[in-house]
Amino acid sequence: MEEIKKTTTFFLVFLVTFTVFNFTSTVLAFKTPTITPEKQIYKAGDSLTVSGTATPNALVSIQLFDPNGKRKAIAQATSNIKGVWLATNIYTFSTTDKDGTWTIKAYEKGWVETTIKVDITPPTLTISVEPNKTVYKEETMEITVVSNENLSSVTITITQAGASPETAEITKVNNTTWIGTYNIKPDFEGPTTMKIQARDIAGNLVETTKIFSVDTTPPKVMITEIPAKTEEATITIKGTVSEPVPEVELLIPGLTPIKVPVNSKTLTWETEVLLLTTGHNVIKAIATDKAGNIGEDSRVVFYVGPLETIKTELATIKESLTLIETLIIIAVVLSIVAAVFSTFAVITIVRRIVVK
């Protein structure tokens, strides 16, 4: 009897142990499924692939919901012997989808969910260039790109006429502001293209193009008519330019710079100026084209001036008086000589008469 009791006790202990072990194994075998998207941000054209863990050899259901809670896709995957599952190309995002936070849910004896961000809209860029103009000389350009959202990259490519495309040097100020610098090449004049490309964090690409011209040749300005010497304070200056410029700037000693309009058809200019300084006056003409290139020419005018004129006239009068005085003396001397000869002649005639 004692033996039966021991056997029964052993059996009960074994049964309890087996039941506990089996229950523990079942509990350990079941885990709440996990779900992991391939990446966190998606753009139009991207496909959604997710993976996770679940009970080995279990069927996992996956659902995708947009920001409004509308279900957009359903998929299934089976976990392998290690409890790992993978669902590829569940959904391909398009430009008609909504931006924002999307939800991915997975079910296998319980629900689990995670979120992703969908960004379908390309960034909006504001471009500013310094200096801001349509024609550039040999100089450095600074291109500032400002976005309405964080950017992952910015590329600025500039192609001058006849030259290979070159990439501007880019500096990231912050996630939304990037600055590019480019040095204009002097040997490639003409139309130039600037292409700006920017990508946001999702990878959406925006591209914009600007067209400008490069002119590194200074205009030729010439003073064609100006007196070398003048007694008048007011003189006329005429000249030409080699290309259309709105005006020529004249620099006259003692005067503020004078702006002289240029005839756009004949490319000539003309003006009257008042000289204030006697002596040598260096007259300089300066022409600046749209790009900022500067050409210049200069001439020297000798201005006699009122005092100098009077001095000159007095000297002339003095010279004239001296000449007159000399002539008078010569005339007097000649008169005396003539008188002497006349007297001598009279005496000779009288003597001849007396002798006879």
173 pLDDT above the threshold of 50: yes
Kind of pairing between the strands at 111-118 and 41-42: parallel
The token pair at 164 is 């290979």
3-state secondary structure 198-221: EEECCCCEEEEEEEEEECCCCCCE
Confidence of residue 122 (pLDDT cuts 50, 70, 90): very high
244 to 83, 90, 270, 297: CA distances (angstroms): 80, 64, 15, 17
pLDDT given at position 260: 97
CA distance 196 to 159: 12
Mean per-residue pLDDT of the chain = 87
pLDDT given at position 26: 42
pLDDT given at position 342: 65
CA distance 172 to 195: 18
Question: Is the pLDDT higher at 183 or at 312?
Answer: 183
Confidence of residue 305 (pLDDT cuts 50, 70, 90): confident
Contacts for 106 with CB less than 8 Å, ≥ 6 apart: 33, 34, 35, 50, 52, 54, 60, 61, 62, 63, 112, 113
Per-residue model confidence as pLDDT tens digits over 154-172: 999 999 999 999 999 999 9
CA distance 334 to 346: 18
pLDDT given at position 311: 54
pLDDT given at position 332: 66
1 pLDDT above the threshold of 60: no
Q: Shortest CA distance to 149 belongs to which of 203, 102, 92?
A: 203
The token pair at 208 is 């914009």
Report yes or no: 239 and 225 within 8 Å, Cβ to Cβ.
yes
Q: Shortest CA distance to 44 belongs to which of 130, 120, 128, 103?
A: 120
CA distance 180 to 168: 6
Residue with tokens 């490319």: 267
Least confident of 33-42, 60-69, 339-348: 339-348
pLDDT given at position 330: 75
181 pLDDT above the threshold of 60: yes
6 pLDDT above the threshold of 50: no
- HSE-CB of 76 using CA atoms within 13 angstroms: 4
Percentage above 90 pLDDT, the chain: 76
Least confident of 12-16, 135-139, 200-204: 12-16
